[in-house]
Amino acid sequence: MAETKQVKPLQVDLSDQVALVTGASQGIGRAIAETLAANGATVCVLARNQEKLASVVETITSAGGKADAMPCDVSQPEAVEKVVEAIVEKHGRLDILVNNAGVTRDTLLPRMSNDEWDEVLSTNLRAPFLFMRAASRPMMQQRYGRIVNISSVSGMIGNPGQANYSASKAGLIGLTQTVAKELAGRKVTVNAVAPGFISSDMTDALGPALLDVVKKRVPAKRLGLATEIAEAVAFLASPSAGYITAQTLVVDGGLIG
């Protein structure tokens, strides 16, 4: 059997750029923050768990990168406005916004409560709207910006038991396309990345038997890695992606074809 080659991490130039990543304390969000920092960006990381955020900052700074932990309730418009203002005041600019924060409250539609619907839509769709609205102002003023929204293949094909989650992620794709058209004239791009099944604590909890079923559904015959999502984000967040906007990049090993 041929040896598996070590893949070199994607390299883009994000020097002197300031990035904001929501839901950055673990999983895909953490991988995105670390990847942007490794490529030269100063990364402001947001999440509810301050202890985990501190760990992210420590990892980034220990590797020679720059990072700040920013406390914020992403569901509160005033808090979102204040954190974006604080970033611009401290660093002088905001170049990259990654809306990654998300939650699931899975259950079949007949049993889904109003609160389960509202909580998922608030975090997964309303919060990205709030952050894009706040971040668009400094980005338009500086005539440069990159916004990347983390959607999901569930928002493209649906998934039983996830009416709230699928609706929020489908809405995020529509929001991405609309805001992209509004901001394109100011050299601000807006794109989405739609992951498929990605190796994480959530997928590990499925157990070996169910994971085998999942892998058989994926043409690539494996789960994706958080770093693979992070590198897709890094490319879309880079100066090289200036003519790509209003797009959804599916990273799913061929799952939805």
Q: At what angle do helices 127-142 and 77-91 cross, to 10 degrees?
A: 30
Report the run of H or E that residue 195 belongs to, with start and end.
strand 188-195
Q: List all residues 6 or more positions away from 209 whose beta carbon is below 8 Å from its beta carbon.
A: none
Which DSSP letter does residue 240 get? G
Tokens of 153: 């293949």
Cα distance between residue 147 and residue 126, in whole Å: 15
Which DSSP letter does residue 224 get? B
68: β partners = 44
| Coil vs helix vs strand at 230 | helix
For this structure, is 144 an active site residue? no
Cα distance between residue 96 and residue 135, in whole Å: 9
Active site residue: 146, 148, 149, 165, which one?
Answer: 165
Report the run of H or E that residue 67 belongs to, with start and end.
strand 66-69
Residues annotated catalytic, as ranges: 165
